[in-house]
Structure 1
Amino acid sequence: MLRLLTAAVCLIALVHRLFWGLSSQTIAGRNFLAYLTVESNIALVVVLVFGGVVALRRANDPRWFSVALSLVLTWTITAGIAFALIVWQAGLRGIRVDVPWSDQVLHFWLPAFTAIVWTLTPGHRAVTWWIVPGCLLFPLAWGGVTMWRGPQIGWYPYYFLDLRQVSGFGEFAVTSGLALAMFALIATVLALISRISPAKVDRAASRREGKLSRSRKAGTATAT
């Protein structure tokens, strides 16, 4: 039920952010779906809805859900960190950046809340290491489309992708490389955290108790 509620909150925030952007009557507002944050949060809604339905029917998550959620969280968390850095840099340059409540929810509160709940809730599965390179596929595809589309419309969702707003290709390459490294780092952390699971602890304790019980039975049989 908590997953379905979280998905509903995410959807409400997305709708608010859409209309807030449209009200600005700017090219950024008209390109709502061009933002990686928006696309990854739409994916988060879909994954949480499926996960909520699964949770109503079984105690433990299937592995595909843990993998899907960890991938989506990698994208949303990294997008939140990038957004925070952009706002911080804008402040240093004296540039005003309006951040509505929906942006705060989508960039900061929802990714953090979902990751914490997923980590602490028994029943999630350990995530395979292939999510580290796998998490880069979506950002690379998104970046390719963005760089192809940007010159045609004269706009980019993030300033560091626009060669007109950076010092040159070198800064663009370094910034993009750091962003990809951040995606990989977040995916690595989530994969590690997925192995520190209450469910795994419970299963390990059950195995130890089972071995102890079998040892006691074997000892009793020998004594008899």
Structure 2
Amino acid sequence: MSEGAAVTPAKNVRVIWAIVRLATAALIAAAVIAQFTTTFTLAAEKGRDVTTTLVNFFSFFTILSNCLGAIVMLIGGLWLLTRGARKQWEPRWMSYAWISVGTYMVVTGIVYNILLRGYVLEQGATVVWANEVLHLIGPAIFLLDLIFCIARRRVGWTAMGVAVIFPIAWVMYTLLRGENVTSPVTGDPYWYPYPFLNPYLQPNGYFGVGLYVIGIAAAILAVAALAVWRTRMRRGADSPAPVVPEPSAEVAETTAAPEVAAPTAAP
């Protein structure tokens, strides 16, 4: 199908999924705002450092990935409603963005529900419904988007390399910053957003942290690889079913069974 061909008969699928994307963007944004408001209200009530609290809030991979997720969902939803009605494939940069951010969101859901689901936080620090949106509902919808592959163009395996750039930068930032920040909650002379990245909580210190980093990096590469492989299957949820042409009259005539002559009477 050509680059600018209209998408039929799957236009309705795109409209429906565009609405899902826009609703998801709004839900994620509402969840981030609700958690942000609660975090700062609690910090103000307890006289904590506002600047440190602000930077810490946006140092969580969950918050960063969900902020990126809301932006990608918004742009992707608007594209499906407008240019997506005329073009078969989304722009290449958008496909790369979906694979990268979708990978972050899916891995966020996996890591939270395996490693952090039972982790006890400060009383009143978490908005329950927002927590579920950021760690379960949002990641689940991104997973569906990667599977449905609506309007996603075929991308090369280099998309995996693009997907790991942000997580690597975030881990480096987190480990370098952690030793130089005083926790506004506990007063410890260090602060790490997650316990598995805190060398003071790991039995083997930075070695234990390194094992977790390697495991999560492997998960990111695995999810990104599956997302890329899905685009290379070409057919998405909005792809029209292949049309099998009917045989032409000439072919039908040549393949028809030969007529059997009626038996003649014996002389």
Q: TM range, normalised to the smaller chain?
A: 0.7 to 0.9
Q: Aligned residue pairs: how many?
A: 214
**1:179 partner amino acid:** I
Match of 1:148 in 2: 176
Any idea what the Cα deviations from partners look like across 1:72-103, whole Å, max 9, x if unmatched? 01001111211122334637xxx999562111
For residue 45 of structure 1, the aligned residue among 65, 70, 95 is 70
Is residue 216 of structure 1 aligned with residue 248 of structure 2? yes
Q: TM-score if structure 1 supplies the norm length?
A: 0.81
Whole-Å Cα distance in 2 between the matches of residues 175 and 146 of structure 1? 14
1:162 aligns with 2:194: no
When residues 20 and 170 of structure 1 are mapped into structure 2, their CA distance, relative to the original with a 3 A threshold, is same
Identical pairs, percent: 24
CA contact (8 A) 1:55 1:61 kept: no
Contact 1:47 1:69 in 2 (8 A): yes
Q: CA deviation at 1:132?
A: 2.0
Which secondary structure does the structure 1 equivalent of 2:119 belong to?
A: helix
In 2, distance between residues paired with 1:32 and 1:217? 70
Length-normalised TM-score, structure 2: 0.69
* Structure 2 residues without counterparts, runs of 5 or longer: 1-17, 182-189, 255-267
2:108 to 61, 79, 88: 79
Contact 2:32–2:130, Cα closer than 8 Å, also in 1: yes
* Cα distance in 2 for residues equivalent to 1:144 and 1:40: 16
Question: 1:136/1:120 Cα in 2 relative to 1: closer, same or farther (>3 Å)?
Answer: closer
Max Rg structure: 2
Q: 1:217 to 1:136 in 2, by over 3 A?
A: farther
- For structure 1, which runs of at least 5 residues remain unmatched after alignment? none
Partner of 1:35: 60
Match 1:139 to one of 164, 167, 185: 167
More helix by share: 1
Taking the aligned partners of 1:216 and 1:10, their CA distance within structure 2 comes to: 54
The residue that corresponds to 2:257 in the other structure is: none
Judge conservation of contact 1:11–1:45 (CA < 8 Å) in 2. yes
Is contact 2:105-2:142 (8 Å) kept?
A: no
| Alpha-carbon contact 1:13-1:102 (below 8 Å) kept | yes
What is the rounded CA distance, in whole Å, between the counterparts of 2:237 and 2:77 in structure 1? 19
**Is residue 135–residue 187 contact of structure 1 (8 Å, CA) maintained in 2?**
yes
Question: Corresponding residue for 2:39?
Answer: 21
Could you tell me how far apart the structure 2 residues matched to 1:41 and 1:217 are?
Answer: 58
Offset from partner CA, 1:11-45 (integer Å, 9 cap, x none): 10110111122233268954210011111111111
Question: Hey, what does 2:221 align to over in structure 1?
Answer: 184
Query: Residues of 2 paired with 1:48 and 1:218: CA distance?
Result: 51
Tell me if structure 1 keeps the 8 A contact 2:35–2:126: no
In 2, the alpha carbon distance for the partners of 1:101 and 1:124 equals 31
Instruction: Tell me how large the CA RMSD over aligned residues is.
Output: 3.0
Quote how far apart the aligned CAs of 1:114 are.
3.1
Q: Is the 8 A contact 2:107 2:220 kept in 1?
A: yes
Alignment counterpart, residue 107 of structure 1, candidates 135, 140, 152: 135
